[in-house]
Amino acid sequence: MSDLQDLWKKISENESKSLLKKHLTKERYEAAKDKKTSLGGTLADCIRSGCKHLNSGVGVYACDPEGYEVFSDLLDAVIKDYHKVPEVKHPKPSFGDMDNLGFGDLDPSGEMIVSTRVRVGRSHSGFPFPPCATKEQRVEMEKITVEALNTLEGELKGKYTSLGSMTKEEEKQLVEDHFLFKDDDPMLRDAGGYNDWPTGRGIFFSADKKFLVWINEEDHLRFISMQKGGNLAEVYKRLVKAIHALEKKLTFAKTDRHGYLTFCPTNLGTTMRASVHIKVPNLAKDMEKFNGLCAKLNLQPRGIHGEHTESVGGVYDISNKRRLGLSEFEAITEMRKGIEEIIKAEKAAA
Ligand code: ADP
Ligand code: CIR
């Protein structure tokens, strides 16, 4: 039996709450099973993680940028469901008026928000995603990215360190401090995310460590702006400045339908995840209610060390859930309004 047949057997014969299980019907499977992208990407590459991990929430990744079209029957259904949009369509980038954003610090008292982080993902045009990328392509992507990063100026100016050149202690400390990624997500591993690890991977830091770039983690590129406290405006403005500077130097994969392309369909469009680490011990006493409130506000709660991790001491990572079908300014506004509601609800529950 082929790899794909085994995967199909597993997902079709077992229970799973994933979007993959929900949307990979027999008809869709039959129609897609023999298709291939020009870079060699297959249906197996898109569904391997979700079939092996029946506890996935989504379970689908795109093999390469073209996979979004070749396997659009399945991927469009997943995208519409996750981002809550009637069709796969994305507006042009729009970041808002930087001198008049209409928000600043979400927690001036400093009592609830520990830190704020906004990130976007970007993919190099013409390169495959992790399951189809070769070692040489990872090295090439690292090289062109570092050349572009070395042109940054002012508060964005910084230094690149490859993962392979770090000591284990340095790496561990950076992970603990929420700066660096690691290779311990079994879902991402089975999607091919850690192939050739640590080749081509690394992190770029500005001098004050408030602007960072991850190279070849889940996405080819992640631009991250973060700082202590709740000043969302400062964090957002810094990130927008970096996006504008880097898009002058690099060409990113995008389509009119999907916006910017990312490995995971949950990240498409704006690719933006704006989060706070926030203390909500009272809301956390009733997790069903807390999860319900987050869902109503289109927010996603995560644990303190990222997706698929636990909270520590009532501190949660809360971020916008939707990224496609709305502008960057709309996504950050949805997050900002949601966090304001969470703060009110936490105070009311005290
Ligand atoms: P992403 O998909 O945005 O990269 P992850 O859930 O994998 O997110 O988290 C990546 C890292 O970023 C983790 O170490 C996580 O703790 C950290 N992180 C996320 N949001 C914040 C925040 N608001 N403040 C500090 N660290 C954060
Ligand atoms: C899942 O389905 O739960 C995982 N594959 C993660 C989905 C979204 N997260 C991500 O891309 N990091």
Dist. CA 73 → ligand 2 center (Å): 19
Contact by Cβ (8 Å): 45, 131: yes
Cis peptide bond prior to 198, omega within 30° of 0: yes
> Does the fold of domain 113-349 match that of domain 3-83?
no
Those residues whose C-beta lies under 8 Å from the C-beta of residue 266, and which sit 6 or more positions away, are: 58, 82, 83, 323
Segment 116-141 mean pLDDT? 96
Which of the four pLDDT bands, split at 50, 70 and 90, describes residue 224? very high
Q: Give the pLDDT score at 1.
A: 46
State which H helix or E strand residue 254 sits in: strand 254-255
Catalytic residue among 155, 234, 307, 341: 307
Is residue 152 scored above 70 in pLDDT? yes
Global pTM reads 0.96
Residue 189 annotated in active site: no
Pick from 317, 319, 320 the residue to mutate for probing ligand 1's pocket: most ligand atoms within 8 Å of its CB: 317
Q: What is the distance between the alpha carbons of residues 220 and 313, in angstroms, rounded to a whole number?
A: 33
Task: Delimit the domains of the chain by residue range.
Answer: 3-83, 113-349
**Residue-wise pLDDT tens digits, 57-103:** 999 999 999 999 999 999 999 999 999 999 999 999 999 999 999 99
Q: What is the distance between the alpha carbons of residues 10 and 53, in angstroms, rounded to a whole number?
A: 10
Q: Would you put residue 325 in left (φ > 0), alpha (ψ -120 to 50) or beta?
A: left
Q: Does the annotation flag 90 for ligand binding?
A: no
Q: What is the distance between the alpha carbons of residues 21 and 288, in angstroms, rounded to a whole number?
A: 24
Dist. CA 178 → ligand 1 center (Å): 6
Ligand nearest to the CA of 223: 1
Beta carbon of 117 within 6 Å of any ligand 1 atom: yes
Percentage of residues in the chain having pLDDT higher than 70: 99
CATH class of 113-349: alpha beta
Q: Which residues partner with 251 through β-bridges?
A: none
Q: Other CB atoms closer than 10 Å to residue 171's CB: what's the count? A: 16
Closest residue (by CA) to atom 11 of ligand 2? 264
Q: Which residues partner with 89 through β-bridges?
A: none
Residue 46 annotated in active site: no
Helix (H, G, I), strand (E, B) or coil at 200: coil
Percentage of residues in the chain having pLDDT higher than 90: 95
Catalytic residue among 264, 270, 333, 346: 264
Q: Other CB atoms closer than 10 Å to residue 143's CB: what's the count? A: 11
Dist. CA 234 → ligand 2 center (Å): 28
Catalytic residue among 222, 322, 323, 336: 222
Q: What is the ipTM score, two decimals?
A: 0.96
Hey, what CATH topology would domain 3-83 get? Answer: Transferase Creatine Kinase; Chain A, domain 1 (1.10.135)
Residue 222 CA: nearest ligand 1 atom is 4
What is the DSSP secondary structure assignment for residue 65, as one 8-state letter?
T
Which of the four pLDDT bands, split at 50, 70 and 90, describes residue 104? very high
**Residue-wise pLDDT tens digits, 160-198:** 999 999 999 999 999 999 999 999 999 999 999 999 999
What is the DSSP secondary structure assignment for residue 164, as one 8-state letter?
G
Q: Does the annotation flag 302 for ligand binding?
A: yes
Beta carbon of 321 within 6 Å of any ligand 1 atom: no
Measured from CB, residues less than 6 Å from any atom of ligand 2 are 49, 56-59, 187, 218, 264, 266-267, 307
Q: Other CB atoms closer than 10 Å to residue 228's CB: what's the count? A: 12
Q: Which tokens is 122 given?
A: 């970007």
Q: Which tokens is 235 given?
A: 């964090």
Residue 294 annotated in active site: no
Q: Helix 328-349 vs helix 287-296: angle between axes, to the nearest 10 degrees?
A: 150
Q: Which tokens is 183 given?
A: 């290779």
Beta carbon of 145 within 6 Å of any ligand 1 atom: no
| CB hemisphere CA count around 110 (13 angstroms) | 3
User: To the nearest whole number, what is the mean pLDDT of the chain?
Assistant: 96
Q: Give the pLDDT score at 2.
A: 65
Dist. CA 292 → ligand 1 center (Å): 22
**Residue-wise pLDDT tens digits, 8-28:** 999 999 999 999 999 999 999
Q: Give the pLDDT score at 317.
A: 97
Dist. CA 305 → ligand 1 center (Å): 6
Helix (H, G, I), strand (E, B) or coil at 331: helix
Helix (H, G, I), strand (E, B) or coil at 236: helix
Q: What is the distance between the alpha carbons of residues 39 and 202, in angstroms, rounded to a whole number?
A: 25
